[in-house]
Amino acid sequence: MHDLDSIFGSDGELVNHIKGFQAREGQLSMAKAIERAINQRRHLVAEAGTGTGKTFAYLIPAMLSGKKTIISTGTRNLQDQIFEKDFPLVRDALNVPVQGAVLKGRANYLCLYRLEQAQQQTIGFDKESATQLGDIQRWSRQTREGDIVEVASVAEDSPIWQQVTSTADNCVGQDCPMLAECFPMKARRVAQEVDVLIVNHHLLCADWSLKDDGFGQLLPEAELIIVDEAHQLIDTASRFLGVSVSARQILNLLTDISSEQLKVASDMPGLIDLTHVLNEDIREMRKLMPEQSQKGSWVELAEMAGFVDGLECLIERLEKLFNVLTEVAVRSKGLEACWKRCEDILLRLRLFTQSEQKNWIQWFESFNRTFSFHRTPLDISKTFASFAFASEASWVFTSATLSVNNKFDFFTQRLGLQDADNGMWDSPFDYVHQALMYVPEGLPEPRDRHYTEVMIEKIIPVLEASEGRAFILFTSHRALREAASLLMAKTDFTLLVQGELPKQQMLDRFRSTTRAVLLGTASFWEGVDVRGDALSCVIIDKLPFTSPGDPVTKARLEHMTANGQSPFAEFQLPSAALTLKQGVGRLIRDVEDTGLLVLCDPRLSSKAYGKVFVSSLPAMPITQEMKDVNRFFRRINKKKLSKLA
């Protein structure tokens, strides 16, 4: 028998088998709460502050339970980290015969059938793509799992992967001539056999919403489902329960039709003519939308000259394509798959012409050359609750940011989890001695057109005191660009500006460069881990309220108002508080870390709701005096020098 007190204790298996492991009271307490939830078949919402060690806290009771477990994470990178690092460490320390595996969406695996098709297609590949295709072909002969991350010479976002991986749309399924060698199917079979399966939220939701990603029916077999980074689940689930159609999906369909026509329907040149016309229709549709890339409401789009007629024309043309495909679908499995895809796109596209939009938010997104249409559900709580509670599995939702003002209501109500147990474990880091919060005085209201200029003037002395080594996190790209321009003109720091380099390259350069200042927006507010002296200061330009111009947010706020709710108190404020917690979480990542948090928004003190933000953060000293900032960094530097001596 394994005892959690012994395992996590100062002389337990983890201390004895894992170098550097330190017993933490919060980690043990969280593990016990998860063990109780498993034994009592309860659902648990568990917030664990940075440094608690939540991965071990859920892995150990899961492994010891003997139950078929699914762990869902926010990203594919985190999947790999858990499977390649944390899972084997814990398994070896416990000495238990538990088998684990990672399962990703099918687009992460090589499709041998599509690789063969791509090799036969000599037209349309530039020199770089042709070289990459050769690299993939050589790798395909030696890989065992077919995971595309194995090919270091081809970037994960390279367009060539679309040609040699499959989607639920273009997979020919059981009729594939290479089914026996299919990498996604091999991964699926392994997933069914292991004790612990690690997926991501996209795959979890695809399985739940029955929008088959080629894997389907994983969840009914699970006895325990652990959702890590659970704060991301709501948005992911909303997307999967919604409906979307993109120009890219239509264009990919047309490309595949053209490829199949050349092979088995060369006697039907009219089919190719129709694909060419539809390509032109897509280009014309894009011209009917706002010139700049943006998100907008459907009402805004419908009011644009010619759009409604253009959409009807696109639907009519797709109907004609569907009718032609109906005649030739029998000629090949590829054409049959195209016929089914065309029907599915038509069904979804027709939804956007309906006048009744109750309980749905309908919106669009335009890009440089393409566009997408979306229908997002206003509320997923009933759907999710009926699904989760209908299962006999225990669900554990965990993250560092689930509570607002020490309450879980905002998270649990949106998923219909009011009957779930909950627990909160504070970070073991000593924020009182490791951190300081500085709230500069004299800033104008955030809507003031000079706000960013004044903010930069306020933080330059801070950057001098910290000698760079800072993240500046922005709530908008516009403010980021303005700030970058001002800092470039007024300082000599090494500026790393989001968009100028890939994210990981920016972080690597930040760690290795003296006097570096990184400027980032949403993607740098979470999932970024820089430990030690490289990051000593996190500056946040404004309280991160979601833009009221965002079509989904706007529709949700209007719906709440119409139903007698307070949009600000019940949605905007708690949502912003959780986002702020994520950003602040970048600062202290280790027991030895020290750092300054700078919150630049005057509303923290001028508005009553400012207290909600402060109370949702770890307790730390707060000052409005620059002299305290200088004293803080002098103390840190003195302490570092004494250690070196």
Residue 330 pLDDT > 60: yes
* pLDDT band (50, 70, 90) for residue 31: very high
* pLDDT score at 212: 41
* pLDDT score at 643: 66
Residues 6+ apart with CB under 8 A from 307: 288, 289, 301
Task: Determine contact, residues 485/497, Cβ cutoff 8 Å.
Answer: no
* Nearest residue to 264 (alpha-carbon basis) of 369, 340, 338: 338
Pick the CATH number of 24-105+185-240+380-425 from 3.40.718.10, 3.40.50.300, 3.20.20.140, 3.30.499.10: 3.40.50.300
C-alpha distances (whole Å) from 384 to each of 141, 241, 413, 415, 449 are 42, 10, 11, 6, 42
Would 24-105+185-240+380-425 and 431-644 be classified into the same CATH topology? yes
* pLDDT score at 124: 62
* pLDDT band (50, 70, 90) for residue 513: very high
State how far Cα 154 lies from the chain centre. 22
* pLDDT band (50, 70, 90) for residue 619: very high
State how far Cα 138 lies from the chain centre. 32
* Nearest residue to 29 (alpha-carbon basis) of 50, 2, 53, 12: 53
Question: What gap in Å lies between CA 183 and CA 169, rounded to an integer?
Answer: 17
3-state SS of the chain: helix, strand, coil percent to 5?
55, 15, 35
Instruction: Give, in words, the CATH class of 243-377.
Output: mainly alpha
* pLDDT band (50, 70, 90) for residue 645: low
Pick the CATH number of 431-644 from 3.40.630.10, 3.30.920.30, 3.30.420.40, 3.40.50.300: 3.40.50.300
- In a 3-state reduction of DSSP, which class is residue 223? coil
Task: Determine contact, residues 589/50, Cβ cutoff 8 Å.
Answer: yes
* pLDDT band (50, 70, 90) for residue 156: confident
* pTM of the shown model: 0.90
Q: What is the mean pLDDT of the chain?
A: 91
* pLDDT score at 438: 98
Written as six digits, the tokens of 487 are: 């800092």
* pLDDT band (50, 70, 90) for residue 217: low
**Domain boundaries in the chain?**
24-105+185-240+380-425, 106-179, 243-377, 431-644
pLDDT digits (tens, 9 = 90+) for 116-155: 888 877 566 778 888 899 999 999 999 999 999 899 898 8
Question: What gap in Å lies between CA 586 and CA 50, rounded to an integer?
Answer: 9
- In a 3-state reduction of DSSP, which class is residue 329? helix
